[in-house]
Chain A
Amino acid sequence: MTVDAAELHTDGNAAAGLLQQIFMAEFTTLERTCQSCGDRNPAGAHLCYEGAGIVLRCPNCSDVGLRLAALPDQYVFELRGTWTRRIES
């Protein structure tokens, strides 16, 4: 099966299950302001590339916003930009 290059990514919704499992909270509505272009978007709107790990990229400029690697005994995260999470008080 040949895969179109445009089909190689999905979006933040596709990683939502794993991210919710790790963060114990819904993840796709978290908002991120990109450190590169300044655009603000929910995690669900970010482009998702899956390989050895997961990479979420800004839907406006493609800069990396989240990198996640799943190792045998731990998850390793790298977050870039300003992520905003609201927690009910």
Chain B
Amino acid sequence: MERLRTLRAPLTWRIATVNELQPETTHATTLVLDVPDWPGHLAGQHVDVRLTAEDGYQAERSYSIASPPEDSHLALTVENIADGEVSPYLTGVLRAGDELELRGPIGGYFTWEVADGGPLLLLGGGSGLVPLMAMLRHRDDARSVEATVLVSARTWDDVLYRNELAKVVENDVTVHYTLTREQPPGWTGWAGRVNEEMLRASGAEPSRQLRVYICGPTGFVEHVADLLVQLGHNPHDIKTERFGPTGG
């Protein structure tokens, strides 16, 4: 019932104020925002951000929430798409103290709460790691929930939250990496697209009754979901969120 109540929210545009900007990688920045009267959110939800030009032209994009429900600030991690309309502004022009129009939280399907339990298998491609990070952060105190993360990125420098991922390992989270384009010298992680062997090594046996979340570009999500179905997973037990080509 609590969840139903949370989900019956009319959607209104709010004015958020940028509290802080945290560079994550050369292409991604986390916006830490103060949002007056924020109704609260679930890990995995997103917001719509709207920019309005002086001539009235508006551009709208969706960004996953990176912060857990417990945080007092709302954090969004935005990947800069060079020819995009919105992300270059958010990652390059926006400064602390600036205001930003957003609405949310949005979505109820791709969400996870501690009460939902585990074991969790989180599979993130590129910036698809963002909502999964909110889930991991939300899990922080619930070590009883077993969690495995498989991070797929082009290069080591493209991996979001690297320092924090190194720390969650101490919190009983298993983290695997695969780098698809380039691996640093002495790399001991995986290389190339996610394959069946990586999924098996991440504990993806259908008999474990996992809670599976896949997020990333459409091609990544469908490739990984197809592999899991081939391994014997029920498609209905796999939650997916696809980022399209119109990011930016």
Contact = CB atoms under 8 A, between A and B. Distances in A.
Nearest to A26: B7
Nearest to A41: B236
A60 interface: yes
Contacts of A43: 109
Size bracket of the B interface: 20 to 34
B51 to A, nearest CB: 15
A59 B222 CA distance: 11
B109 A17 contact: no
B43 to A, nearest CB: 14
B158 to A, nearest CB: 18
Given A17-B48, A86-B4, A88-B8, A7 B218 contact: yes
A82 interface: no
Contacts, number: 90
B88 interface: no
Given A14-B244, A88-B4, A7 B219 contact: yes
B109 A42 contact: yes
Size bracket of the A interface: 20 to 34
A71 interface: no
Given A1-B83, A6-B218, A26 B9 contact: yes
Given A8-B218, A26-B8, 14 more contacts: A8-B245, A10-B242, A10-B243, A11-B242, A13-B46, A13-B107, A17-B48, A17-B106, A21-B103, A28-B109, A28-B110, A29-B109, A45-B240, A88-B4
Interface of A: 1, 3-4, 6-14, 16-17, 20-21, 24-26, 28-29, 41-45, 50, 59-60, 86, 88
